[in-house]
Amino acid sequence: MLSFTGIILLAFVMKACDPSNDEYEEYDEKTPLVGNKEKCQRIEMSADSVIISYLGFKVFYKAKILQPVWVEYTMTAEQVEKTKHTPKIPRHYSPDPDLPLPQATDYDYKGSGWTRGHMAKRQDLKWSEQAVRESDYFTNICPQKEELNTGVWDDVEKKVRYYATQYDSIHIVCGPIFTDTINGYIGDSHIPVPDYFFKVLLVYHNNRYNAIAYVFPNSSEPLTLSEATKSVNQVEELTKIDFFSFLDDSIEEGVEDVVDMSVWEIEWQ
């Protein structure tokens, strides 16, 4: 089986739009080591946005919205197995101390009515204590409705772990979607609350790539996975993110336009 880690983290290039529709500059992998080199943290920065490579995930953080635009990581079957044998690591939400940009604080979330929603799932990173602790940085956190966080979003996260064991590895990209900011703002930092969240998955199975995407309203309204399922192209239209630009165009279009449910409806428990 093909592991995505080397391919995607070296080739993954994105362009995205923020809630005000101002265009980000396009980034590539010209990333000097900065900050704490022992953390393997690479940063590339513009005036208020930054791509950070943490130990277990990569994040495109935007200071204007005080949360990530997207988070991406690869999970392997080996890592899933390791997470089953790791002692409990206490949660400790905090700003990234090595990032010289404005960030949210725990006080912004307390009493707001919104949970601290991890984009890179904490449990997925329990193969490393450092990776888990970095997942608690607010660069990886978005305001998320509790019913979503513990409901269908959690259901997908459990499925992702199962897919990793069945297909050897899986690549995950997720983040917030802003439209009319109907959910308002929280905290003294005036953090905009996302209207929706997306999650895009990619596996390599039977000698070809297969992808699926989901879009979830950031609300307490019940939603089934079937109702949330989208093609990658549909999510690209919503987010203006080019997810799999590392693939040849002839392969990319088919992967992003078609959802092969035989890959994603495998029996799981």
> What is the per-residue pLDDT across 54-75, written as a single tens digit (0 to 9) for each?
999 999 999 999 999 999 999 9
Nearest to 119 by CA among 50, 172, 195: 172
- Mean pLDDT to the nearest integer, 215-229: 92
Q: Domain count of the chain?
A: 1
CB 158 within 8 A of CB 89: no
Residue 140 confidence (pLDDT) above 50: yes
pLDDT for 28 equals 35
Residue 206 inside a domain? The answer is yes
User: For the chain, what is the mean pLDDT?
Assistant: 83
Residue 118 inside a domain? The answer is yes
3-state helix, strand, coil in the chain (%, to 5): 30, 25, 45
Residue 168 inside a domain? The answer is yes
CB 186 within 8 A of CB 197: no
For residues 140 and 180, the model is more confident at: 140
pLDDT for 18 equals 38
Nearest to 116 by CA among 158, 144, 92, 85: 144
Q: Residue 127 maps to which CATH number?
A: 3.40.570.10
Percentage of the chain lying above the pLDDT 70 cut: 81
Residue 21 confidence (pLDDT) above 80: no
Residue 32 confidence (pLDDT) above 70: no
Instruction: Please give the sequence-ordered ranges of beta strands (E in DSSP) within the chain, or none if there are none.
Output: 42-45, 49-53, 58-62, 67-76, 115-118, 141-144, 169-177, 185-186, 191-192, 196-205, 208-217, 229-230
pLDDT for 184 equals 93
Residue the block writes with tokens 């919205």: 65
Domain assignment of residue 182, given as a range:
5-264
- Predicted structure pTM score: 0.83
pLDDT for 232 equals 95
Residue 247 inside a domain? The answer is yes
Residue 269 inside a domain? The answer is no
Percentage of the chain lying above the pLDDT 90 cut: 64
CA-based torsion, 5, 6, 7, 10: positive or negative: positive
